[in-house]
Each structure stands twice: as C-alpha cells, then as structure tokens.
Chain A
Amino acid sequence: MVGVKKKMVTLVSSDGVEFVVEKRVAEQSLFIKNALNEGGVEEKVMIPIPKVTSDTLSSVLEYCEKHASATEFQENEIEEWDKEYIEKADLDLLYYLLQASYSMSIMGLMELGAKKVASLIRGKSPQEIRELFNIKNDFTPEQEEEIRREMQWNYE
C-alpha cells in the first residue's frame, strides 16, 4: 500500500525466530494487545512469545491474519475457513495451538481448538481417549477401582 504505513510488530518465538506482522493482526491476541498498551510506544516493538515455537506461531498468525480481516468476509466463509484450518492440524499441532492460544489469549482459536478436541473425544471410552492422546493413566489400581465404583454408570 502506498502512503499508508502499517504499524508493524515483531514477535519472537521461543526458538528465536522473528515474525513481523501488522499490529492489527497481532492484536487478535489479548496478551500482545495488553503488552503493546503497556509498552506505550509501538514503534519497533519486539515481543517475545514464550513457550510458542516458530512452527506453532506461524500457524497461529495465519489464524490471526484471517480473523483480523474477518469483516471482509461473510460469516459462513470464516466458519468454513476455520473448519478447514483446524481440520488440517494434526494432534501435536492441535495441542500446541491450544497451548499457544491459551498463553497468548486468543479466545477464538482456543474455542476452535477445544471444540476440535471435544469432537475427537466424544463417544470414546476412557481407554480409547488415553490411547488417542497418549495420556498416561496416573491412577493407582485402587483409585481406579474406587472411581469405578463411585461412577458406575461410566462403565455401562
């Protein structure tokens, strides 16, 4: 764009990769928005994003970019995009996206990720869930037996 200088922000992922994005895109994250407001001057700001790797961050920014310009699209267009976006994430990325959206406070992405995980969990038995997400069963056999007894209807 000629004439209009867009305000840019530099985000640094946990592995040191810098991402230069428009401010309005970065502000999809409340965490960054707050950081910017606290910082006051927005010129040449470097914001470190702890715990988010460059791979994840680039995917997160893809989401932010789309949603920063959401008003240009029709509602269902965005929905479709969201669906495709989350569909193509594998389990690992899904986890990292959730984690990142949580630490960066991106509500929409958090909801989206949670919904996706929920859809994976639905209708599965506890054992299947453990296998799917590679979750360790940290109950002792006694505890498990107790829960089993208490919550009988779980094992119908």
Chain B
Amino acid sequence: MPANLFDYLPIELAELILMKMPITDAFKTSTVSKKWLQAWTSMPKLVFSDSYWLIGIRGRKTSFVEFVDGVLSSHNGPILDFQLTTDVNCHKTLNRWLDVVLTNRITELHLALWRTYDFNVSSRLFSCHQLVQLKLANCTLTLPQNFKGFHKLRSLHLNEVHISSDELKCLLSCCTQLQELALIYLRECAHIDLSNTEVQKLDIRGEYEILNLANQHLINASIHLMSDWRYHELGTILYPHYNISHLELSGDLKVNPTYLRYMVKLEKVIFNFLTHPYESISEIVSNCPRLKKLMVKGLTDISHDLRITSGTLESLEIDCGYSHMSIACPQLIDASIYITPVYHRWNFLQQCPYNINPYDELDLKILEELQKEVELPVTLKHLENLSLDVRFGNVLSEYIVFCFMKVAPALTVLEMKQKFECVAWVAYRYSWQRRVAWSGHRGAGTASWGGIGACCAASAGVSEPTAWLALTTAHLGASEGGGSVGATEGLCAPQPCVWGAAGSATCGGQHFCWALTHLGASGLAAEARVGGSGGAGQPSALGATGVFAARGQQATGWRTPLTWGHPEAAALACCGRTECCALPWQRLGGNRHAASAGGQHCWLAATATQGHAGVLGSVLRQQGSAAPRLQRGGRKLEACTTARRRCFRPIQPCPLPQSRTRRQPRSSRRPLGSSRSPEGRPGVAFRLSFRQRHNPDQPHRYGYQICRSGSGPWAPRSFA
C-alpha cells in the first residue's frame, strides 16, 4: 500500500474536492503539488464573493479584483459554472471578467451586483447557448434584435433586473425549456404574462400592473405582490389553469373564495401578511380535497374567526391573531399554534375582566367557558408534534394548552415557545415587581427565546430556591435531528439534579433560533446543572449551557449566547435574591455527545403565575433503551415506551417569596414538600401538573390537576 495515497488522486476528484470549499481555500492548495495546481487551474466551477473577502483581511496583499483577475488569467480549463457576488462597480472590470467567462461552454451563471445601477450585461451572454441556469441581480438586460433564446435554460432568476415588459416577454417566450422562474422586483416591468410558458415553479415579487400567471404546467407558485392601489385578484391572475399544488401568498392580494373552489389540487398553502382573507382561509381549507399543509402567518387582525375544518390536513401552522379559532382536522400530525394574547381578554389574573379573583379559588367552570375562544371539536388522534406559542403566566392561555393535550392522545413532542414581546413583557413585569433584576433589561429585550424567558419569569416569580422547577420548551426528542435529552435524574428529588439538554433548532438554515431553546432547568434543591448545546454544529442552533445554582446566593442572570452552535453559552443562575449576577460564560459539559447519551424523551413545561408560585405543568417521559420505532403517517418517530415512568407528584404548595431580610439560612429551610404558609401576604398558588393515568389501553392519556394553595390547606381538584 503506497503511503502517499493522495498523490494518486484522479484529477477529477481533486477538482471536485476543490469545488467543495471556498475559493480562497481552494486556491491555497495550488502550491501543494503539481496535481493540485493542475486541478486548481482546471476547476470548472468558480464561485467568487467579496462578502467573505473582508474576513481575514489582515495581511492580505491582494484586493478582490486582483484575485479574480489572477484566478481567471491562470485558469486554463473550461468554466462551466461561474458565480459572482460583488459590490465592485467598475463596468470595465466586470466586463473583463465576463469576457473570459461567457463562452459557449458555460452552463450556469450567477451574477449578483450590489453597487452598480446600470451595468448592462454583455451581449455575449445571449450567445451562451448551453446555459441551464441563469441568475442575475441588479443589472440591466438588453436583448439583441435577433435573439433566438436559450434552448437549454431551465432556471431563470431575475432579481431587480432592469428589463422592459416586451423584452421579458420575448425572453420568456423563446426559452422553451424554462421550468423555474423567479421575478423579483422588476421595476421596469408592468406586464407579466406566463400563459405561454411551461414554467412549473414560480416566485414572483413586486408591483405589477397586469398579471397573467397561469399556465397549465404551473404547480408551485409563490406570489408576493405589493400595491398601492391595485389589488390583484388571485383567482383572475391564475385563471383558468388550476394545477397548482403549492401556493404561497403574501402582500396585497384579494382572494375571492369562488375562484378557490376550482383549485382542487392544492396540497400546501401558505398565507403570509394578507390583510383580510379569513373567510378565504376557511373556504380554501374546506374546498381543497387534497390539502395537507396549511400555514397562516402575519395576520394581525384579531376580530375574525378562524375555522379550519379539513379531513386531510396533516400539518398546520397558525401564527396570527384571531378572536375565535376552531380546529377540526382529525388527520393532523404536526401543529404549531399561536395562542393569541388578546390583551384585554386574557391577561394576568388580577387584570382579568372575568372576575377571576386571584384570591378566590380558581373556578374551572369559568376557565372552561373562556376556553371556547379555541374550539377543538374533534380528537386529534394522530397529532404527534405540537408547538404552541403561549403566554406564560396567563392561566387562560395555559389552560388552552392543556385542552390541546386532552384531545391529542398520541402526542410525542411538545414545544412551548413564547413570542418575543410577551417574554420581554413578562420579564419586565417580573423584574419590576419582584425586583429581580436579571441580566439587565437589555436581557429582556433579547429574550426572544421562549425557554429562557419563561424560565427567568418563573424563577423571578417564584423567587425561592428551595422549591421551584422551571423549564419551558420541549422538543428534545430524538425525532428532531440531533436533539435529544440527556440524563435526567431525580427531578423531584431533593438532591442535585443534572440536566442535559441539547437540540438543534428546527430552523435549519436560518440565522436565528427563534423557535426554541433547549434549555434544561431545575433547581429543586442544592444545585442543578443545565447543559445544552446546539446540535450538529449548525450555526442556527442556540447552544445553551448554564448553571442553575439555586443556592440562594446568586440571583437570576443569564446571558445571551452570541456564539451560536457553540457549547459555551448562556449561564443561568437563579435565586431569590434581588441582585443579579450574570454568570460568566462557561464551558460545561454541554456538548452534544454528552447530552445525547441518555436517549430519553422528555418534555416539561413550567410557568409562573402571579409571582407567587409556579403554575407548573410538567411531564416527563422517559424512554427505555429499547425504544421501538413506530411508523405513523409515513413518518418515523421515536416512540416513547414508558420503560420507567415517573410522574410528578402533586407538588406541594410553593412558598411565597420572602423579603430578603426574612430569608432563612439555607440549612434551616424546609425540604421540598413541606408546606409553608405565606407569611403575612395573601396569595394563591396553583399548579397544573400532569399525571399519567395507569391505563394500559391509553398509555398516553393524561389527566391533570389544578391545585390551589395559599393560606388555606392544600386543596387538589381533579378533572378531565
């Protein structure tokens, strides 16, 4: 076996390897050996971008322009794929490069210019007949008189390209193979007609006067129209061909239900930022016999009803306001629901207009009546993944969460998240009222991660280290790539408990992890450690690592992790003291491997209400080592076999926070479970806790309890 294997690498493979890295790195290999030099100079794909050019600028002797010039001049193979993103605005330079690149071999060209306004793409472009993909941004296209079309072009993206209506029409009509088309803010184009094309996938954005987007091939359309005065009617711009199966609508667009009746092939619909299509949504849903996925986003009008009744719908995402929502979709598998925080309606208890006096016993009848804001008439028996935007600290919205539980017996993954403003608000409220400063109010502003926010709120609210347990967020299951919960030990035990939580965020390629935080937190006794890290090295995953040191000495503090996906992240400490100390960044054992070792499924949620105690609902499902895989609805999910089942005991009343001066020395504090009456202050503490029923036929069926505590004796109430 030869020792220097890589000397024998075929040149094509070397080229392939070089194409897998940024061009600056690929370039460095050119001096490794003759083979690599050869591979470098014949590499068929060149991707230049000056957005990363500035990175590592220290000591760099060449400018971006010199670099591109150098590469192009030393290149001696055909360039098949050329991609350039630059803010170089010298026309002469750009033309010099394009002269080299625009040959009749090139198949793919991406040209994104950001600082030129009138760069006219060389007419040589129109003789590149091998082009399969063409993406242009921010330049001018002028078609030559005798242009015969790109006969192999399948994908065309024009982003803020200056092109007239007539020229566009000509371009589209003579590119007969075109399948994918993106027309984004073509300002000089008023008229777009796709009726004679065979475009299957369309992305259109901007402001256009006349639109005719329908052709019988169109199956995937994303339409975002802006308009001051003209409202396009969806039905008419797509009329009469309705073969569309994927439709995304945003901007100003009228949707007339009568046309929708004909769109029978729709499978996936996304509404975004539309102003008034509530009736249409219900209409679409009930008129589309194949609809599988529906997303409704951005509607801010809260005075409407949202009724979703579908026998086929499998995935539903509601991220908008409504006054009344009804979900009757028996086939639902995934759901993400925004539980609207109508401020005047669902507020914290003391502001609640429905006469729920926080000092009275919580009347469940009242809650149930109020819950009609969200109606769940059918059992969601296939629902496995549920994500809820909920206002923690709001009993009514929490109650809805539990109503969802009630109708979803197969639920495997629950994710609780909280909207930015809510978290900030909660945080602010608690930090103000409870005088628990936490990581500064700047922290409140950035508390966009539901988990942390609610944790902080909870910790601030409970403000007592001996008996609280707070964790929002879930979704720690193995069904999510890379996310799983590590070891969970003795959550209710008065001993140190260690949590490992890791997960990758659901929003893979995005920059932020809005969706969730995988954060474990527990502080029942002396100490709890929280470890979490972003999974899979994705920059999007929020890695959170922290220490909950519930020792009564450190106050709540957390810091936003700035380095996404790194194991070091937020440190979180909690305690009842008023001052805050944000722990320094720490690198704990929160790496993914450590955390995913346990292979357990778990979710729990806890919130605080009233600042007196935590409304706390929590479920912990532990997965045995021999977890069978279940296949349901075409998806594989790790099912929970309850190998060991640990339910939370009904948690004893939570003591009220005490002022600092009254704090007892730690040693004399009572252990968890000993009821302590609130000293000198009236208050109520109630908790919701899940209890698994021991019913072998319905292993996932939960009942729950609401318990009230306060000055009176512990008074549990069971229902459902």
Which of A98, A133, A156 sits near B60, CB closer than 8 Å? A156
Within 8 A of B (CB), among A108-156: 110-111, 114-115, 117-119, 121-126, 129-130, 133-139, 144, 147-148, 150-154, 156
Which of A102, A118, A135 sits near B20, CB closer than 8 Å? A118
Within 8 A of B (CB), among A7-36: none
Tell me the minimal C-beta distance from B429 to chain A in angstroms: 38
CB-CB under 8 A from A96, the residues of chain B are: 5
Q: Are B31 and A126 in contact (CB-based, < 8 A)?
A: yes
Report the bound CA distance from A84 to B34 in whole Å: 32
Q: Kindly state whether residue B7 has any CB partner on chain A within 8 Å.
A: yes
Q: Are B60 and A153 in contact (CB-based, < 8 A)?
A: yes
With most chain B CB atoms within 10 A of its CB, the pick from A91, A123, A148 is A123
Q: Are B6 and A125 in contact (CB-based, < 8 A)?
A: no
Q: Kindly state whether residue A62 has any CB partner on chain B within 8 Å.
A: no
Report the bound CA distance from A96 to B30 in whole Å: 23
CB-CB under 8 A from B720, the residues of chain A are: none
CB-CB under 8 A from B636, the residues of chain A are: 72-74, 77
Q: Are B67 and A79 in contact (CB-based, < 8 A)?
A: no
CB-CB under 8 A from A135, the residues of chain B are: 4, 6-7, 32-33, 36
Which of A95, A114, A130, A154 sits near B5, CB closer than 8 Å? A95
Tell me the minimal C-beta distance from A120 to chain B in angstroms: 9
Which of A134, A137, A139, A154 sits near B28, CB closer than 8 Å? A154
CB-CB under 8 A from B6, the residues of chain A are: 95, 133-135
Q: What residue of chain A has the Cβ atom nearest to residue B2's Cβ?
A: A134
CB-CB under 8 A from B70, the residues of chain A are: 150-151, 153
Tell me the minimal C-beta distance from A85 to chain B in angstroms: 15
Q: Are A134 and B481 in contact (CB-based, < 8 A)?
A: no
Q: Kindly state whether residue B16 has any CB partner on chain A within 8 Å.
A: yes
Q: Kindly state whether residue A59 has any CB partner on chain B within 8 Å.
A: no
Within 8 A of A (CB), among B8-45: 8-10, 12-13, 16-22, 25, 27-34, 36-37
Secondary structure of the B side of the interface? helix
Q: Are B9 and A153 in contact (CB-based, < 8 A)?
A: no
Tell me the minimal C-beta distance from A74 to chain B in angstroms: 6
Q: Are A110 and B21 in contact (CB-based, < 8 A)?
A: no
Q: What residue of chain B has the Cβ atom nearest to residue A72's Cβ?
A: B636
Tell me the minimal C-beta distance from B578 to chain A in angstroms: 45
Q: Kindly state whether residue A92 has any CB partner on chain B within 8 Å.
A: yes
Q: Are A118 and B18 in contact (CB-based, < 8 A)?
A: yes
Which of A76, A92, A154 sits near B481, CB closer than 8 Å? A76
Q: Kindly state whether residue A38 has any CB partner on chain B within 8 Å.
A: no
Known: A80-B481, A121-B21. A151 touches B31 (CB 8 A): yes
Q: Are B21 and A118 in contact (CB-based, < 8 A)?
A: yes
CB-CB under 8 A from A115, the residues of chain B are: 20
Q: What residue of chain A has the Cβ atom nearest to residue B70's Cβ?
A: A151
Q: Are A129 and B10 in contact (CB-based, < 8 A)?
A: no
Q: Are A130 and B32 in contact (CB-based, < 8 A)?
A: yes
Within 8 A of A (CB), among B618-636: 635-636
Q: Are A139 and B60 in contact (CB-based, < 8 A)?
A: no
CB-CB under 8 A from B8, the residues of chain A are: 99
Q: Are A139 and B30 in contact (CB-based, < 8 A)?
A: no
CB-CB under 8 A from A110, the residues of chain B are: 13, 16
Report the bound CA distance from A139 to B66 in whole Å: 25
Interface size on B, residues (CB 8 A): 42
Q: Are B21 and A147 in contact (CB-based, < 8 A)?
A: no
Known: A121-B25, A126-B31, A153-B62. A134 touches B3 (CB 8 A): yes
Tell me the minimal C-beta distance from A129 to chain B in angstroms: 5
Q: Are A138 and B27 in contact (CB-based, < 8 A)?
A: no
Q: Kindly state whether residue B576 has any CB partner on chain A within 8 Å.
A: no
CB-CB under 8 A from B21, the residues of chain A are: 118-119, 121-122
Q: Are A126 and B29 in contact (CB-based, < 8 A)?
A: yes
CB-CB under 8 A from A117, the residues of chain B are: 17, 20
Report the bound CA distance from A119 to B18 in whole Å: 10
Counting contact residues on chain A (CB < 8 A from B), the size range is: 35 or more
CB-CB under 8 A from B30, the residues of chain A are: 147, 151, 154
Q: Kindly state whether residue B59 has any CB partner on chain A within 8 Å.
A: yes
Q: Are A126 and B28 in contact (CB-based, < 8 A)?
A: yes
Mask of B449-482 contacts with A, CB within 8 angstroms, 1/0: 0000000000000000000000000000000011
Known: A95-B6, A152-B61. A114 touches B31 (CB 8 A): no
CB-CB under 8 A from B27, the residues of chain A are: 151, 154
Report the bound CA distance from A92 to B9 in whole Å: 12
CB-CB under 8 A from B9, the residues of chain A are: 95, 98-99
Tell me the minimal C-beta distance from B36 to chain A in angstroms: 8
Report the bound CA distance from A76 to B635 in whole Å: 12
Report the bound CA distance from A72 to B16 in whole Å: 29
Tell me the minimal C-beta distance from A57 to chain B in angstroms: 16
CB-CB under 8 A from A73, the residues of chain B are: 636
Known: A114-B13, A134-B3, A135-B4. A144 touches B31 (CB 8 A): yes
Q: Are A153 and B33 in contact (CB-based, < 8 A)?
A: no
Q: What residue of chain B has the Cβ atom nearest to residue A53's Cβ?
A: B1
Mask of A80-98 contacts with B, CB within 8 angstroms, 1/0: 1001000000011001101
Tell me the minimal C-beta distance from A136 to chain B in angstroms: 6
Q: Are B17 and A118 in contact (CB-based, < 8 A)?
A: yes
Tell me the minimal C-beta distance from A59 to chain B in angstroms: 15
Mask of A51-67 contacts with B, CB within 8 angstroms, 1/0: 00000000000000000
Report the bound CA distance from A72 to B6 in whole Å: 36
Q: Are A147 and B31 in contact (CB-based, < 8 A)?
A: yes
Known: A102-B10, A152-B62. A138 touches B635 (CB 8 A): no
Report the bound CA distance from A33 to B25 in whole Å: 36
CB-CB under 8 A from A83, the residues of chain B are: 536
Tell me the minimal C-beta distance from B181 to chain A in angstroms: 25
Q: Are B32 and A129 in contact (CB-based, < 8 A)?
A: yes
CB-CB under 8 A from A129, the residues of chain B are: 28-29, 32
Known: A99-B10, A123-B25, A124-B28. A139 touches B16 (CB 8 A): no
Report the bound CA distance from A117 to B62 in whole Å: 27
The 4 closest A-B pairs by CB, nearest first: A118-B20, A133-B6, A76-B481, A153-B62
Give A residues with C-beta under 8 Å from B: 72-74, 76-77, 79-80, 83, 91-92, 95-96, 98-99, 102, 110-111, 114-115, 117-119, 121-126, 129-130, 133-139, 144, 147-148, 150-154, 156
23 sampled A-B residue pairs with Cβ under 8 A = A76-B481, A77-B481, A80-B482, A99-B10, A102-B13, A111-B20, A114-B13, A114-B19, A118-B20, A126-B29, A135-B36, A136-B7, A137-B32, A137-B33, A138-B33, A139-B33, A139-B34, A147-B30, A147-B37, A152-B62, A153-B60, A153-B66, A154-B31
Given contacts A74-B636, A118-B20, 5 further A-B contacts (CB under 8 A): A80-B481, A111-B16, A114-B19, A134-B6, A134-B7
